[in-house]
Structure 1
């Protein structure tokens, strides 16, 4: 049975991804900053018939928390097959480039960028013990510099400096990590689930969490011939589903 860790998984897209992976027969660690909240969600899922789900405390901004989670999974599983770096924050709004403080930008980067690096580096050795390790970094179309330079893009006017730049940085980390691991059986990709109606955006997005989670899984639970170092987006109306960087 393949083992998955999903950060920020006690609600919204992360939670739906937990559900769908459980239905596919994977063992899922439901990562949550607040263990009590995570355990309450896991218990409710169990009551609703979902199996092989365990809540685990992980605060991606805290080194001790990440190390503790790694030690638990190593003791219980001996390896990790899939890491989905889903935890993310929007940051305070508005986010004008000329007025947003360095401290506010750093706070967003702590979760969206440095948090992903912290978790990935901590779990890399466990992932290397898998026959088919996968790392999916959940990003946003707003991280695309190419789209942000296109005045015809429908989200062209959304220039939130903290969030946008943190996701662009995350995309860059994905590219460099994929290259470093290219001679191993890893698949490392940036995945944009699309503009989805969640608590994150006051349910303003047109997409559903079901579609978003399905898209993440489609580009995560892949075979040996699948690409690595790509940027897939649920908002791209193209057969390849690839977004420009």
Structure 2
């Protein structure tokens, strides 16, 4: 049984990822900034017959919160096999970099990038106790430099320039961390769920949460230890 921590897992893609992984036999810590919301998600899963889940308070912007979550996982599980950095915010829109709010941009980076980095750093000692440690960073096509510079790029993506910049940073973090941990038998990858209908986008996405969670779950359950420093979507690898 794999032990998995998912940040921002009390709703949306995070919750659906927890559901699918638990159904496949993993024990899942459902990270939630508000513990009551996390417990509500756990109650929902348990009502559906899924018992191998537990809520844990975790705010990726609060180091004390992350450290306390680490201690809970250490006491209850002893180690961590998979860290899924899912927590993120969309920020206020529009958010063009030419004239957007710096306060909004800093808030985006604080959660989407710095929160991810410090959560990973704090959880690394528990991951190193696993024989198959994996880190999965939830990213977005909006952060793909290749897609943003393509002739057929989507012009409306400029509405999300700040958010996209945080995901570009996430992808850089994935590559750099994968290289740092390569000799320690880690796998570190980015994955985009695609444009999924969640409250992050006002439920405008065309994919269901089950579809959005699919590539994350596939990476989490993969037994191929050679795949690291890559960017995936449903159906395969995507360009950075």
Structure 2 length-normalised TM: 0.96
* Residue 54 of structure 1, CA deviation: 0.2
1:197 Cα deviation (Å)? 1.1
**Aligned: 1:190 with 2:185:** no
Q: 3-state SS of the aligned residue for 2:60?
A: coil
In the other structure, the counterpart of 2:74 is 74
Report the equivalent of 2:19: 19
Root-mean-square deviation (CA), in Å? 1.1
Contact 1:33–1:57, Cα closer than 8 Å, also in 2 = yes
Give the distance between the partners of 1:197 and 1:215, measured in 2 at CA: 16
Say if 2:60 is the partner of 1:60. Answer: yes
Q: Please identify which structure carries the higher helix content.
A: 2
Q: Is the 8 A contact 1:134 1:221 kept in 2?
A: no
Within-5 A mapping of 1:151-230: 151-153=151-153, 155-159=154-158, 160-230=160-230
- Mean Cα deviation higher: 205-214 or 168-177: 205-214
Q: CA deviation at 1:156?
A: 4.1
2:238 corresponds to: 243
Please give the secondary structure, in 2, of the residue aligned with 1:4: strand
| Aligned residue in 2 for 1:83 | 83
Q: Distance in 2 between matches of 1:8 and 1:117?
A: 15
- Equivalent pair of 2:186/2:225 in contact (CA under 8 Å): no
- In the alignment, structure 1 segments of 5+ residues that lack a partner are none
CA distance in 1, matches of 2:225, 2:19: 26
State the partner residue of 1:118: 118
Equivalent-residue separation in structure 2 for 1:81 and 1:156 (angstroms): 39
Alpha-carbon shift at residue 232 of structure 1 (Å):
0.6
Deviation at 1:121, TM superposition (A): 0.1
Per-residue deviation, 1:44: 2.0
- Output the TM-score relative to the length of structure 1: 0.94
Q: How many residues align?
A: 239
Shift of 1:226: 4.2
User: Where in structure 2 are there 5+ consecutive unaligned residues?
Assistant: none
Moved over 2 A (4+): none
Contact conserved, 1:150 with 1:156, CA < 8 A, in 2? no
